[in-house]
Each structure stands twice: as structure tokens, then as C-alpha cells.
Amino acid sequence: MLGNTRSFPGLRNHPFNSVLTEAGKIILGKEHEIRLATTCLLAGGHLLIEDLPGMGKTTLAHTLAKLLGLQFNRIQFTSDLLPADITGVSIFDRTNSAFHFLPGPIFTQVLLADEINRATPKTQSALLEAMEERQVTSEGQTRELPRPFFVIATQNPAHQIGTFPLPESQLDRFLMRIELGYPDRQAERALLTGGDQRPRVEQLAAVFDPAQLADLQSEIAALHASAALIDYIQALVEASRRMPAFRHGLSPRAALALLSAARAWAWLAGRDMVLPDDVQAVLPAIARHRLRASQGNTLADREDIASLIRTVAIP
Amino acid sequence: MSTPAKQALDHGCPPWLIASALLTIAPHFEHQPLWLSAFSAALLVWATWLWHQDQRLPGRWPMIALVGLACSGIFVEYRTLFGRDAGVGMLVIFMAMKLLELRSRRDANIITILGYFLLLTHYLYSQSIPTGLWLIAALWIVTAAQIRVNGGPLCRIRETLRYAAMICLQGIPFMLVLFVLFPRISGPLWGLPEDAHAGRTGLSDSMTPGSIASLAQSAEIAFRVRFADPLPATAKLYWRGPVLDNFDGRAWRSSAGAIPRETLTFDSAPIRYETTLEANNQRWLLALDAPSTLPPDSSLDGRLTAQGRLPITQRQRVQLASSLDYRLNVEESPKILHQNLALPARFNPQARSLAASWRAETQTPQAIIDKALELFASERFAYTLEPPLLGENSIDEFLFQTRRGFCEHYAAAFVVLMRAAGIPARVVGGYLGGEQNPLDGYWVIRQSDAHAWAEVWLEGRGWRRIDPTAVVAPARVDSGISDALPAGEPLPALVQMRGTWLRNLRHRWEALNNAWNQQILGYDPQRQRELLAKLGLPDSDWRSMATMLGGLGTLLMASMLAWTLYQHPKHDPATRLWHTALRHLARRQVHCAPGETPLALLRRIEKTDPKLAQQLNRVVECYLLTRYGDAGDALNPLRDAVAQLTRWR
């Protein structure tokens, strides 16, 4: 009844469970990160993955898209990328003597925006506006993006050369920010002996379809969150505003994000109610990119988030 | 030395501690030497600057040098490191210096505890109402600082202050119980032997021209009186101090040597009253002429001056009774009469010849007295607080040249004239009149009411009071000093105020101070017995008081505990049951970590004690369902599960 937070088989009888298990076969030793990425998707938010090249960011995005039966596009961000390269351009069609809109790569269901901080702020903001509005306005015409629309952006650590760090207001549009990190010794060994898993991604069969996903998202959004749990989220947000370790606290939007992500996490754990455990599980991914350490211009420290959790009593 | 992160002091703490230090040491600046105050103030400013600039605190060696400097400074100043002044000085400096050592929570706790101790030291210097108010405010801030230091950066300023105020208020019932019931010792709670040597203004046992006039410029309160019997409307209140019967040409003193006991006859009913004397380092009790009943341990000295056994070094209450009509020593010993006729030979020839001429003209002593008073009544004499300085033959100069003087000039001149004319006479020092506070009915007698008058001995009448000032300035005797003096005299502003709102305010303030002195500071073993008797506890000794103290203390604690428990029914039944389970776990040395969820706790216990986890599983399940689920009420299953857990061994 309470589900299980330790491993995947929380949703034994639900078809969604195979999404997690299949993805776990491709990206080895990253169950928690896969679960967080899936949570983000189920909560209807966009995901930012920050890590060094070669850690499997692209593979993760591609795998999820495949398993969910979603259309997948990828944009490699560079410093000379223009907004139109993302949203699309209108081309004059001689046969019809009219302009014809060529949709850009953004018109897809899962968009992998690789190395988003290599592009100029103008291009970045074109993508981020589309993420927020879920539509593209070009030459006076507004075009809806497909549903569901899910952006997985990857980012190199900010101190690398030739990067334009995303401003705080843009970071806030990502529901979650995760790091993949190095695989553990066992997973890396399995990777080395079992060969590259990436070609397998193309052959993956969808285990879910977009219509099911939309139903699931609305089911999760209605998951029961008791007054005591809302109290807990409020207490966390208030404490973050008072802690001297942070320059400023969490916004109301962050509180909403925390609640919806906690719902998705609880659903993935096979529960029909949200527990403080779910809030604690998603809090680092929700809060770290929204908070600034009071000293220096860096993200909030992992340890400070942990002390935020320790400070607030469970209601 | 590095400080563990858990003990480290956050950046928000030092302002609280600096404020506490400032509040607790600032009142000492009033009586400390200037260098000491400046030194500690400089340390405070330094500490504030270091905090503001986020600078490193000074290292060990500079601090040791500072300690050495401070100690040697104190030693040079006081010639000792012990005793009240030196000890308090050291505490003040160390308090300021500790602010330069604020590294860990331990340092901060030292500051707050030293702050509480420093609060007490102020009572060694002053026990007035403003001191009390200041110290309450300081207590509040020190408590708030302690809350802030130990509560961490999450404490908001307003919450911290409110919480500290609440703690202080909660202390009030205990304070009252301790105040009323704590066994008292005779003598002041805060007095130290040193107090006796402190300089006090007041009437002295000698009188020179101008000495009372300068005393009259002080508005300080000399004593307060409350009459138990109604006072005759026409009563003249002469409060008798020392009798000055020895004149050396310049100063008047009390003559030494044995004096036979006086014989007193009273012609009117005694009036009972209670006098509260301020410390004056003298023995006289300033009784109303003439005292008929004296407190124990006191006596009349043969010249009608009531004297205690020891000098009055702190505020003291005495019960007295006096009859305003009396006859003193109708039969006087020839030796005393001779003493009261003596005049130094070389001085004041003019006055003596004037008196000799009066004696030749008239026959009765009364006629001579009238002549002298007529002389003073002539318009050439003026009553003033600023008499001109007088030379060697002071009486002559006053009588024939300056003719401006205060009461001591008139009393002295009158006595010299009488003695020269062969009538035994002497000067009496004391106070005249006073002012009744309409609010509490107490009479307040100030230094500005200091007065000197004369006494002459008449055959068949004994010693009789003659007040020459009454002739020169009748208003002085009838209505008080401020009416008797012309405008522009340097009388204290407090005494001058007439019929203004300020005067009303002063009455209120003095009534408040008096109540404070009488009820709070004057709460001695006797008052304690009286109060306890009123409460129905006659003959209480320290044992019964200690028992009552313990009983009432327990009662207060119990009622506060009950109140606290009553205040927290906010926890719903599920949470209370969960807390029961947690308490049970705590008995098994399993504690819930801060921020640990019930589920996480269960998982942790699963690893260490699977059997216990099995028992706990059901409790956690039911608790989470009730608290976070929407499946309805699982309270009864939870109750059963908790009961099962607590029974399980």
C-alpha cells in the first residue's frame, strides 16, 4: 500500500513500470536519475541536465522519447545558432506564389536541446519562451506545439569556456535540474563488457502512447495531497526564505513545482497519496537551480538543501 | 583553533550580544572613572566594527596584552583587584573584551550569563525605580540574545523579542513569591560596608555663616514623615537636629562633655508619626520638638536632640511621637547655663556693646529679646540665600554693615546678642516645615528646608524657642522657603515650582518613589511578619516560610505546565498517537532524526532491528494514511497499532 521507494517495482501492475525498467537497461546504474527525469515528464515540466559531455544525457532523452512513443528531435546549440533555426522559417513557394512555413526542429514532442548554454541569450530565450507558452509565434502567426511537449536541455558546467550561463529567470522555467554523474564501478563494468547500448535505442519499442500519457498526467495532477502535506511544503518554502545560506528563498512557482513533482514521484512509487518522503525526494532537483548561495554567484549547496530538510519539522 | 560547524556563531548573533553588553555595562559609566568607561566603550566600538566589516577577531596575544593592561589599570586606580568598585570594573572590561572573542556559541553563552550577573551589580549602586526599569529592559535583551544565539538564524527579530518578553513575564509570579516569602535578614539586601563612607549632603554638626544657605540650594530629600495622628492646623514643624552651643568666633559646634539628663514636661497630647530618614551619616533622628516616645536603641542627648546608637548609613524607618507644647529644663544646672553664656573675648565688640546698652536700659530678659527682634524687624535687614561674605567679626559685620543673611546669620547674631546681654542662649540646627504630598499624604522634607533657630533659657520657663527668621521673613515659617525668598534667588527649581502641572508631576513622582522605598526596598523582616500575619500566617519562622516557598513554587510550576499542555491541543489525535509511538521508540534508544519522515525512520529501523520494524510497520502505515491519505479515518486501527507497539517487548 505504501509502495516502495527503494527500487523500480513499485508499480508492479502498471504498464508504465516497463518504461522505468527498459530505460534502466539502457542507462546503467542511474535508477534514481531516470526516476527523477520520468517524474519531471509526468509532472508536465521541462528538464535541465547539467553534466560533463559523455555522461549519457542524450541517450537518456532519446530513450525516454522512444519508450513513450514520442516524436524526438535534437538541436545542437552553438554560438551562431539563430532563433529561426529553432522555430522555423517561411520560404516563398513559387508554385503557389505564397510564403510557406517550414517548421523548425522545435515542432516535436520531445526536444533535446544539447548544450543550451553555448547559444547566445537571444536564441536561448526563443526556446525558453516556446517552452513556457507551448506555442511559437513567427511572422505574426501563432502555431501550437505538439502535445505533450517536453524539453530536455543539457548544459555544460557554467565555468567552461564559451558559455552563456542561463539567467535565473530562465532557469526557473525548468521544473527540475539534475546531474547524472559518473556511473558506479559495477555499472561501468557492465557498460564496458556489454558494449555500447546506444544503437539499441533506435530499436526500442514504445511501451506507452501519447494519449495514455496525457491521461496519466491528469490523473497524477489530481493525486491526493493532504492539508498536512501542504503545510509541509509551505514550511519548507518559508524556511528557505529565512535561511541565511540562501540569497533569496523559493518562489510560489517553485512551491507549485514542488507539489506537482511530489505528486508524480508518489505516483511512481505506487501510492495514492503524497508523503513528505516524496517532497524530500524531489526537493534537491526542484530547489537547487532556483536558489542562490548567499556567498558567491553559485547554485545553492547540496548540503544547504539537506540542512533545509533537517530544519523543517514534519507536520 | 577551529570551531566545529555546529557550534559556530552565525553572523546575525553579534549585534544581539553587543546590545546586551552595552545595556548591562552602560549604567556603570555613571560612577566609574572616565578612562574605564572610555576603554570599555572603545572595546565595544571595536567589536562592532569588526563585526560590520566581517574582519578577523584579534588573536590570543593581543587579548592577553589587553587583559594585562586592563588589570593593571584597575589596580592603579583602586589599589586592589577586589572589592565592589574594582570587581565591578573588572567585570565591565571583561564583558567588553569577550565581544572580541566571539567565535563559538560557548563564547556567546558566556556573554549572556555574565550579562545576567552584571545586572545584579547595578543594585550595589542604585535601587531606584529608573534603575529597576533599565535593568528589566536589559534583562529582556540579554534573554533575547540568548534565544537568538541558541535558536539559530531562523529566529526572526520580532519573534525573538516576543519570546524573550514572554519568558521574562513568566518569571513574574516566581519573583513575587520569592519577594514575599524569602526569609529576610535585617539590613539592606544590597548594602555593602563601603556604603557608610560615601559622602552625603545634609545637616552637619557645625555651622558657619553661609553653610545652611548652601545646603538650602539642594532639592535632595532629607526625610519623609507620615503622621498617624492629626496635626494641629497651626503647628510649626521644627525638626530638631544638633544643638550648637559652642561659639569660637566663627563656627558653632556642639560642646563636648557630659550633659545631665533633661527634664521635660509636656503640655499637649503627643502626636505619633513615622519618619523615613535618608542616609546622612549622622546619628540624629530629626524628631519634631519635643519627642515624647523614641524608638528602641535611641535616646535624647540632654539637649533634646534624639539620637540613634549608630550613624544612619542607609534609609531607615523610625516610629516617633512628639508633643508640640513642652517645657524643657526649667531647672538647669549652673554649669550648663554658664556654658551658654560664653563668648570668645576678642570678637564682635560692637554687638557686645549694643547688648550691654540694652541690658542697662531694660530690666527683664523678655524686654531684651523684644529689642533684638525689633532690630531684625527693621527694614534694613534682608533675607537672602546669597549673603555677602563676612570677615573676622562676622556678627558685627552682619549686624551693622551687610544686614543680608540667611537663617543661620539671624540665629547666630541673635544668640550672640543674648549671651552678651546675659541671657543663656544657643543655636539649634534642623529643618523647618516641609511639604505634604497630596497624593500619598507623606510630608517631604528636603535639604532646602534646612533651618537654624535660637533657644533662650528663661527663669521659670526653661528653654524657649525663638526664631529670629520669623521676624525677618515671616513667610519662611508660615508657608515655606519658596515664599520667603525674593524671585531670582538660587533656590532649586524643584522647590520653586508653585501651582504648576510640573509640581503636580513632581508630587506623583515622589509619591511613587516613596511607595517604592516603603514597600519594596523597605520590606524588612518586620514588614514581612506583618504581611504574613495579614495573610493569616502569624509567627512564621524561616522554616514555615521555606515550606511555603517550596509549596507555592511547585504549585506555580504545575499550573504553568498545565497551561502549556492546555495550550497545545492543536496536535490532532493522530499526531499524538504517533508521538506516543516515538516516545516508546526513544525508550528503546531509537530516535527520530530532524527532518526524518516516518517512512524513512521505518526503513532505518528495518536495517538495525527488523523485529521492531515489523511492529512499527503497522503504526506507520495507519499514521500516514490518517495524516496524508484521503481514504477516511484510520484512527482506530492506528490506536490499536500503537497500543500493540507499546505492549510489545
Strand partners, B253: B206, B246
Of B238, B223, B201, B221, residue with least CA distance to B276: B223
> CB–CB of A277 and B599 under 8 A?
yes
> Does residue B286 contact residue B317 with C-beta atoms inside 8 Å?
no
Secondary structure (DSSP) of B510-569 = HHHHHHIIIIIIT--HHHHHHHHHHTT-TT--HHHHHHHHHHHHHHHHHHHHHHHHHH-T
Q: Give residue-wise pLDDT tens across range A116-166.
A: 888 888 888 888 888 888 888 877 788 888 878 888 888 877 666 777 888
pLDDT for A297 equals 67
Between B35 and A191, name the one with better pLDDT.
Answer: B35
Measure the CA–CA gap between B451 and B253, rounded to whole angstroms: 15
Match domain A223-311 to its CATH number in 1.10.8.80, 3.30.565.10, 1.20.1300.10, 3.30.450.20: 1.10.8.80
> CB–CB of B629 and A224 under 8 A?
yes
Q: Which chain B residues in 135-164 lie under 8 Å from chain A, judged by CB atoms? A: 153-154, 156
The mean pLDDT of A74-96, rounded to a whole number, is 85
Active site residues of B: 407, 451, 467
**Average pLDDT for chain A:** 83
Give chain B positions within 8 Å (CB) of A312. 595
Fold that domain A17-213 belongs to in CATH: Rossmann fold (3.40.50)
Length of chain B measured in residues:
649
Grid cell listed for A255: 512551491
pLDDT lower than 50: segments of chain B: 1-5, 193-199
| B607 to chain A, closest Cα gap in Å | 13
Q: Give residue-wise pLDDT tens across range B155-188.
A: 778 888 999 999 999 888 888 888 888 877 765 5
For the whole prediction, is pTM greater than 0.80? no
Those residues whose C-beta lies under 8 Å from the C-beta of residue B442, and which sit 6 or more positions away, are: B224, B225, B226, B436, B510, B511, B514
Measure the CA–CA gap between B427 and B205, rounded to whole angstroms: 11
Largest CA distance in chain A: 69
pLDDT for B194 equals 47
Between A13 and B520, name the one with better pLDDT.
Answer: B520
Element (H, E) at B425: strand B425-432
Selection from A181-195, A247-261, B244-258, B327-341 with the highest mean pLDDT = A247-261
Helices (H), B388-524: 394-397, 407-420, 469-472, 474-478, 481-484, 493-496, 501-515
Which of B156, B600, B628 lies at the smallest CB-CB distance from A226? B628
Which of B596, B600, B628 lies at the smallest CB-CB distance from A273? B628
The region that residue A134 occupies, defined by phi over 0 for left and psi between -120 and 50 for alpha, beta otherwise, is left
Q: Which residues of A touch B (CB under 8 A)?
A: 1-2, 5-6, 224-226, 228-229, 239, 242-244, 272-277, 280, 309-314
| Substitution target from B154, B592, B597, B628 for chain A, most A beta carbons within 10 A | B628
Give chain B positions within 8 Å (CB) of A311. 154, 594-595
| B31 to chain A, closest Cα gap in Å | 41
- The confidence band for A91, taking pLDDT boundaries of 50, 70 and 90, is confident
| Assembly ipTM | 0.83
CATH code 3.40.50.300 region(s) in chain A: 17-213
- The confidence band for A9, taking pLDDT boundaries of 50, 70 and 90, is very low
CATH code 1.10.8.80 region(s) in chain A: 223-311
Of A80, A46, A255, residue with least CA distance to A152: A46
- The confidence band for A97, taking pLDDT boundaries of 50, 70 and 90, is confident
